[in-house]
Amino acid sequence: MNRPDVISKFLNYVKYDTQSDDTTGTSPSTMKQHELARFLVKELNEIGASDVYYDEDHCYVYASIPSNINDNVDRPAIGFISHMDTSDEVSGKDVKPRKVENYDGKDIVLNKELGVVLSPEDFPELSNHVGETLIVTDGTTLLGADDKAGIAEIMTMAEVLLTNPDIPHGDIKIAFTPDEEIGEGTAHFDIEKFGAKFAYTVDGGKLGDLEYENFNAAEGKIVVNGRSVHPGDAKDKMVNASLICYEFHSLLPVQMNPMYTQGREGFFHLTEVSGSTEKASASYIIRDHDEALFEKKKQLFIDAAEYLNKKYGEGTVEVKVRDQYKNMIEKIRPHMHLIENAKKAMTDIGVTPLEFPIRGGTDGASLSYKGLPCPNLCTGGYNYHGKYEYASVQEMEKTVDILFGIVNEYGKSYK
């Protein structure tokens, strides 16, 4: 079987700067995401995909691989989804990936001049990759494995199936989305056009990751309105907005900080703060797996603002809380074949399924609540959203095998 190189595809895709931006208010949030979308549309047409559709307004790419089994057995169309954008935490422009062959378990110097080192002392999971080939950055940008590794794996699977018609499979649907990193990846996703009954996002990390429980998520923002007075004449007159902003943060529980939480423990994460004496603002993300605890966290955020308004005067602190996505597990439970088939696809090739709650979210969480049950699969990428990001060549290749295994399971009679 002629199999394209998933790594060559991946290295092509990371050349595209596709960072999303939650400040623009547009969809997609950045026009540069269209460049990768157009490239993928071209590639899908070249490999012979059907129903290739490019939503030029909102930057979504859809395609199909029609079933080649004619036995009148009812099979659901199964979908695979990855996102094109990368995080805005670290630059994704001019990514310079390189391969570290036969990794020896020692420090990897990413950038000697800047003193950037990928060390197993800081990232102990590196010890699991001894003997593998790793793809790393030059220490100045992120890599983009989140989620261009997922795109490469889906595209590799698609090309193999389309160029090897003797491999039996049911209907397969593919989609690539923008703006997942800012929580808007499904804002204009057309489930009807996509056409799958069930799907998987390929947007996880470590080989074997099988995720179907995620955070409930909200965004919290405050704006503090102060009063600027010359500090020499400020007594009983000045209202320092920046200090009140810090006071607001002090009202949130110290232990509910992502630096101190793990597993199913939720948090308040301060993502941005700016201001002066006259006006200040702060942005947070609020997370919890447990819905009741999640609601309490949102209320605590609002209560902190109300407390400060009582202290300093009504209107001093403006507060907004906006829900982003919910825990998908309630929508996955009625369709556990998604999990069982993925587990079988993994165990058949010697991969141990790792079922842990996501300390984050994926497009699949929102899609599950829109009627498309959609758990999340591994990609073989690590240390997302930063310059220490890397991917394992062997794990990416194994992930492609997992996708083939899932396709094979759904090619059988549907139970």
- Binding site: which residues? 83, 146, 181, 203, 385
Structure tokens that stand for 160 in this block:
């193999």
Comparing C-alpha atoms, which of 285, 301, 299, 259 is closest to residue 360?
Answer: 285
Structure tokens that stand for 329 in this block:
């597990």
The CA distance from 147 to 203, in Å, is: 6
Cβ partners under 8 Å of residue 360, min gap 6: 214, 215
180 is catalytic: yes
Annotated binding site for Zn(2+): 83, 146, 181, 203, 385
Active-site annotation holder among 43, 171, 180, 409: 180
Q: Which long-range contacts (CB under 8 A, 24 or more apart) does 298-303 make?
A: 298/218, 298/220, 300/252, 300/253, 301/220, 301/252, 301/268
Helix (H) or strand (E) holding 193: helix 191-194
> Would you call 255 exposed, middle or buried from its count of C-beta atoms within 10 A (0-12, 13-18, 19+)?
exposed
Active-site annotation holder among 85, 171, 395, 397: 85
Q: How many CB atoms lie within 10 A of CB 254?
A: 10
| 189 three-class SS | coil
| Identity of residue 362 | T
The CA distance from 391 to 389, in Å, is: 7
Provide the annotated active-site residues.
85, 180
